[in-house]
Structure 1
Amino acid sequence: MNPTERKSPWRRIVRNAAGTALVIAALALWMPYFVRAFVCDQFVVPSESMLPTLIPGDRILVNKLIAGARIYRSFDFAEGAPLRSFRLPGLRKVRVNDVVVFNVPHGYDRDRIEFRINYVYAKRCVGTPGDSVSIRNGYLRNNRHEGPVGDRERQRQLAETPDSAIPPTVLRAMPFDDSLFGWTIRNLGPLYVPRAGAKIALDLRNFRLYKPLVEYETGGSLSFDGRTARLDGKPLADYVFRKNYYFFCGDNVPNSKDSRYWGFAPEEFIIGVVKRISYSEEPVSGRRRPERRWKKVE
């Protein structure tokens, strides 16, 4: 046996150790990105819209395994670019009363659904695909859910606030048509939450309610000439939805920008379900709130 052959086992050991070290280093580098993309991500709560469940400064953990992680097919996130993605199999569907983080479907133009990657809200799910939701004197209702929806104490506060004490721009609710609906954040609906495969007649009322959804799904322009709905100029008597939608509200119903104003959120806009607060800080002082560390969100 020559000297080279005697040293070869050690060289193999060194090479294997170096390879293992590189694999470990690569895993350590990419693991945080893998976890954020497929398992869990963290967001900061900036507003009071989810009081008392969430408060400004809470760091909320969003579980992506429940509904399934959203995987992008395209990374073109320019304004107006469509969302191209698919969803991995999840543990279950989003349910009524889940606290959900999602991309807000409307920006400055309430009549158009657009995807903006860094514009996200945390709200409570009030309606799932196929449900009918309503608000009666400030209290949230769902026709397929037994029991309370959202925070009843905040809803009681809204119920006891007269319309005259609420600014009109805050009081009026979607679809902002007083002649046909006259809906407000205190009294709204019943309103059907679209489910993929469901068919609706495109009369004047449904045109006002679902125009942004039809245009979002088809990429066309929907109009109503007084008697007939037209999609890109062609008559359209009824419409079959291609996607599932959700209706979200903040627990702080007297002061929350939510589906009562901008309507429905497409299922593909959902990021995940909030299950825990990792930690919380006072927004101004930065003081930690130990009582909220690892608090369960219900």
Structure 2
Amino acid sequence: MISPLLVLILAGYWKLFEKAGRPGWEALIPVYHLYIMLKLSQRPLWLLLLLLIPGINFIISIGILIDFIKSFGKVGIGQITMSVLLPFIFIPKWGFDKSTRYVGPSASDDFREKYRDFDKSPVREWTEAILFAVIAATVIRGLFLEAFTIPSSSMESSLMVGDFLFVSKINYGARLPMTPIAFPFAHHTLPLTGTKAYWDGIKLPYYRLPGFSQVKKGDAVVFNYPMDADSPFYRPVDKQENYIKRCQGSPGDTIKLEYGQVYVNNQPMPIPRSGEMEYRIRTDGSVKGIDPGTRYNLHMEDLQQFTRVDFTANMTVQSAEKLKAYPFVRAVKPDIKLRGVYDPEVFPHDPHFRWNEDNLGPIIIPRKGWTVTLDSLTMPFYQRAIEVYENNKVQIKGNEILINGTKADSYTFKMDYYWMMGDNRHNSEDSRFWGFVPEDHIVGKAVFVWMSWDANAPSWCKIRWDKVFRRIN
């Protein structure tokens, strides 16, 4: 489902394009609509190349928007500001407003003459435009909305590699910068040089503005990867790598997995409709391998052959059902690990708990104000949260546990925590491997995909049109 706010913006663009003598449908095509906007404002088309540069692309897209709305006579600083900060209100307002009309390319000499009261020298105009775009982009990225690209297959097929999406900061409340001195639009590393993009000499305490809601089970959430606090990076919280997973457990919940099924408070959690997992495939031996066309059509990933008739592959439940209908297929079954098979990579990495990625728990997820008894069985679960995330010095001396030098047999948590998992259950590094995500690591909620690019598709159809401008469920 398409986001309602995006529908408003697209409807406004459609009407504005028609007012400028262009077909309204051109406003619906990603990137191409920016090309048309540049033509309508008579700005150089080579600016589109700058959209390929992370950070710079956000500034350029704002600049293109500003020039476009100026071409409709919206040249006042208030109008420009509102078009950037509240496009879902003002773009449709001007699109459907009969008094708003296309007055000519904003970069033309005729336009400058007509609006000479607002005219500035080219150097001053570009300087002010860049400065405004930087400030606007910083405010938007920090407090409202930030662009994000899916880098790995851990959320497939719900979110695919090559999906470009927007992350809302206002849903959960924007987190104010904790490492305030940083290079604009760079996250933790500067391009080209590979050096740090921030200075951690000044650190501010965690604070989050009020939001519309709390993190809910089932939300696709972007958060900072908690293990980046360790060697070799030792990154501050807000400069840790951005991850995206689905929330499976909230503060205070008890979570467990049995043969791949997630249970929260003893209730089974819905399996993501587009989620993937690994399946074992047995054929009749009439084929040497599964052909590339079948693999692409069924979105089969990580195909491996073990014997003449046995394969494994990652795919959705729907794809597995379709594969069963192929004449050479004898069986398709989820490749689920047995209970009691110990995997030392799985949280809490303790042989007392013989768990694996398909079978673990029960685990109580900490919540703010909850007091846990500390002993040899609970410390493997909660020591990292107490020590690393809540900044306490923890020492274990024989049977004694010391927190900040004082003997302790219990601990009361200062923050809420969450349990995050990828939809691609057998190809995801998530809470099953490194535990809880603290509330101060939450960045925002993934709300919609604005563009989806399939690098493995044939050259003539690399855009996944069925995913463009789709709300994330």
TM-score range, shorter chain: 0.7 to 0.9
Instruction: Deviation per CA, 1:232-284: give whole Å up to 9, x if none.
Output: 44311100000111110000111100000010111111111111101011246
Corresponding position of 1:163: 337
Instruction: Deviation per CA, 1:93-115: give whole Å up to 9, x if none.
Output: 010000000100013849x9962
Q: CA deviation at 1:75?
A: 2.2
| Equivalent runs, 1:1-298 vs 2, <5 Å | 25=129, 27-75=132-180, 77=198, 84-107=205-228, 109=230, 115=237, 117-143=239-265, 147-151=269-273, 154=276, 157=279, 160-163=334-337, 172-178=345-351, 180-283=352-455, 287-298=462-473
**Cα distance in 1 between the residues matched to 2:140 and 2:402:** 46
Instruction: Deviation per CA, 1:137-195: give whole Å up to 9, x if none.
Output: 1111211867515458646859832538xx986x84101111x2112111111111111
**Cα distance in 1 between the residues matched to 2:200 and 2:135:** 28
Structure 1's consecutive aligned runs of 4 or more residues displaced over 4 angstroms after TM superposition are 14-19, 24-29, 76-83, 144-147, 155-159
Q: What one-letter code is carried by the residue in structure 2 that aligns with 1:40?
A: L
Instruction: Deviation per CA, 1:29-60: give whole Å up to 9, x if none.
Output: 53222211111111110111001101100011
Confirm or deny: 8 A CA contact 2:179 2:236 kept in the other structure. no
* Bigger share in strand: 1
Could you list the runs of 5+ residues in structure 1 that have no partner in the other structure? 1-13
**Cα distance in 2 between the residues matched to 1:57 and 1:152:** 16
Q: What one-letter code is carried by the residue in structure 2 that aligns with 1:50?
A: M
Q: CA deviation at 1:78?
A: 5.5
**Cα distance in 2 between the residues matched to 1:221 and 1:108:** 15
Confirm or deny: 8 A CA contact 1:207 1:229 kept in the other structure. no
Provide the aligned length of Structure 1 versus Structure 2: 278
Q: CA deviation at 1:216?
A: 2.4
Confirm or deny: 8 A CA contact 1:104 1:116 kept in the other structure. no
Q: Name the SS of the counterpart of 1:33 in structure 2.
A: helix
Superposed CA RMSD in Å reads: 3.4
Q: CA deviation at 1:80?
A: 11
Between Structure 1 and Structure 2, whose CA radius of gyration is higher?
Answer: 2
**Cα distance in 2 between the residues matched to 1:144 and 1:270:** 26
**Cα distance in 1 between the residues matched to 2:227 and 2:202:** 13
TM-score (norm 2): 0.52
- Structure 1 residues 44, 141: closer, same or farther in 2, change over 3 A? same
Q: CA deviation at 1:291?
A: 2.2
TM-score (norm 1): 0.80
- Percent identical residues: 29
Could you list the runs of 5+ residues in structure 2 that have no partner in the other structure? 1-114, 182-197, 280-313, 315-332
Confirm or deny: 8 A CA contact 2:157 2:275 kept in the other structure. no
